[in-house]
Amino acid sequence: MSETCHERLTLDEKLPLLGIAAWSGTGKTTLLEGLLPRLRQQGLRVAVIKHAHHGFDVDQPGKDSYRLREAGASPMLVASRSRVALMMDTPGAGEANLVELIAMVRQQAPDLVLVEGFKAWPLPKLELYRASLGKPLRAGEDPWIKAVASDQALTLPAGVESLDLNDYDSLVAWIAAWPARWSSQHGPRPVPREETR
């Protein structure tokens, strides 16, 4: 599904979603590696959906699951007592369908789903921003951005919270509080209308 078809995403008030939006090189994965154990310590079950911009393979050539998938199994599910993996080839399907991915994750009843990489989709987002990358801040043009975590002080649009990108404790507190705020803040923030004369 192309990200231009994202209007079909219907937000479920019972499943809190939070997009993590950032330019490449900002350190999204490193940040999430640091935050996820802390969120788990707070008792939250957090699922992550990550978009990859290129082909990838989680299976190894020569392994039974790889051979069976290559032979045409779709989907291919591998399970052990400690891990389950579902693999499926999607030739010709275009971009990943976030609606379908959320439905897959919903079955596991997480407390929160963090969505990384689907930045054009209409869902609430935390923007990670490093001015040193020389890229524009997205919060001014994306009404779905609820907060910006940056390594320096920024002027942000009204209604966008400012967080310190290097303060893991405050980031964990903000993200951990998101499920409780979800029902009242799962839509875009109001964009002030310019006064007409």
The 10s digit of each residue's pLDDT in 74-119 is 778 888 888 888 877 777 666 778 888 898 889 889 999 999 988 8
Higher-confidence position of 167 and 100? 167
DSSP of 77-100, one letter per residue?
Answer: EEE-SS-EEEE---TT--S--HHH
Yes or no: say if 1 and 97 are a contact pair by the CB < 8 Å rule: yes
Cα first-last separation, the chain = 42
Which of 6-10, 17-21, 26-30 comes out lowest in average pLDDT?
6-10
**pLDDT at residue number 9:** 64
Distance (Å, whole) CA 58 – CA 148: 32
> What helix, strand, coil percent values describe the chain, rounded to 5?
30, 20, 50
Residue 61 confidence (pLDDT) above 50? yes
The alpha carbon dihedral of 53, 102, 85, 43 has a sign of positive
Residue 105 identity (one-letter amino acid): V
Residue 67 confidence (pLDDT) above 70? yes
pTM of the model: 0.84
The 10s digit of each residue's pLDDT in 125-151 is 999 999 999 999 999 999 999 999 999
Distance (Å, whole) CA 19 – CA 133: 20
Phi, psi of 142 (to 5 degrees): -115, 105
Q: What are the tokens at 24?
A: 């490449």
Percent of the chain with pLDDT over 90: 51
**Residue 160: which residues within 8 A CB-CB, separation 6 or more?**
139, 145, 146, 147, 148, 189
Query: Please, where are the H alpha helices in 91-157?
Result: 98-106
Domain 3-51+95-185, classified CATH 3.65.10.10, yes or no: no
Give the residue from 99, 103, 81 showing the smallest Cα distance to 3. Answer: 99
Ordered by start, the domain boundaries in the chain are 3-51+95-185, 58-93
Yes or no: say if 73 and 86 are a contact pair by the CB < 8 Å rule: no
